[in-house]
Amino acid sequence: MEPIVRVNNLSVVYDKTEILRDINFEIYPGEIFVIVGGSGCGKSTLLRQIIGLEIPTTGEIYIDGEEFTTAKGRKREEILRKFGVLFQSSGLIASMTLFENIALPLKSFTKISDERIEQIVRLKLKLVQLEGYENYYPSQLSGGMRKRAGIARALALDPPILCFDEPSSGLDPLTAASLDQLIVNLNNALGLTMIVVTHDLASIPRISHRIIMLDKSKRTIIARGTPNELKNYKENKIVYNFFNRIAE
C-alpha cells in the first residue's frame, strides 16, 4: 500500500532556533496516526507543516504521491482540499449557527445547490451525534459539543485526511472518552486517514494504530510503534516513563 502522507528529512527552524530536525515517517490510508511528546517538543509545529499552514525549512512532504511543499496555485489548493482540521478551540465562528458554520466551506468551495448543502449539513451533524442542533450558536453548546461540531465542519468537503490538534484539550475525562470513541467510529465507518496530535495518555491507547514520539531536547522522533510497543519500550527511559506516567 502506498502512503497517503510521506515526510522526508523535514526540519523546521524559527529565528535561528531549531524546532524539528530530520523528521521522517509515512502514514497509510485509513490509519489513525498519533503524534505525541512533552510540551514544547514540536507536535503542533509538525502538524502545521503537514497541513500546509507553514512550509518547512528543509525537507519534503508528499500527499497522495504529490509533492506539497513546493506546490503552488491550483495544485496547492487541490492538495489543501484533502485535509479537514479540528483545531484545539474547535475553530467555529461564534456569530454563526452550526448550520452556517458547516455550510460555509460548501458555499465557498463548491457550486452545489442550497438544497443539497442543507442535506449535507444535516448528514454531517448526524455523523457527530448533533442532529437537531442546526440553529444553535457555539456559545450555546458544551465544550465537547463544540468539538463535535468542529469535526462536522471539517468533514463538510469529504476530505480523505482528518487532522486533530489536541482534541481532548479542555474536556473532562468522560467527554474526552466519548470524543475518542467518535474518532474511532468515524475512522471505521468512513475509512478516513486520521492524524492526531495529543499528550492525553488515556486517549492514546484508545485511538492509536501507530504512534511517533517527539522529544524537545533531541528535536526529532525518538520512538515509533503501536501503543503496546511504546508502553513497553525499555530502550529509551524518556519513552518508557512517558507512556507509563512515571515522574523522574
- Reported as a single tens digit per residue, the pLDDT across 89-109 is 778 999 999 999 999 999 999
Give the CA count within 13 Å in the CB-facing half-sphere of 81: 13
Rounded to 5°, angle at Cα 167 from 95 and 184: 115
Could you tell me the pTM of the whole model?
A: 0.95
| Residuewise pLDDT in 10s, the chain (248 residues) | 899 999 999 999 998 999 999 999 999 999 999 999 988 999 999 999 999 999 999 999 999 999 999 999 999 999 999 999 998 877 899 999 999 999 999 999 999 999 999 999 999 999 999 999 999 999 999 999 999 999 999 999 999 999 999 999 889 999 999 999 999 999 999 999 999 999 899 999 999 999 999 999 999 999 999 999 999 999 999 999 999 999 87
The neighbouring-strand residues paired with 5 are 27, 63
pLDDT tens digits, one per residue of 172-185 = 999 999 999 999 99
Domains in the chain with CATH codes = 5-82+159-243 (3.40.50.300), 90-147 (no CATH)
Q: Which residue has the cell 463538510?
A: 156
Under 8 Å between Cβ of 155 and 194: no
Q: What is the pLDDT of residue 41?
A: 93
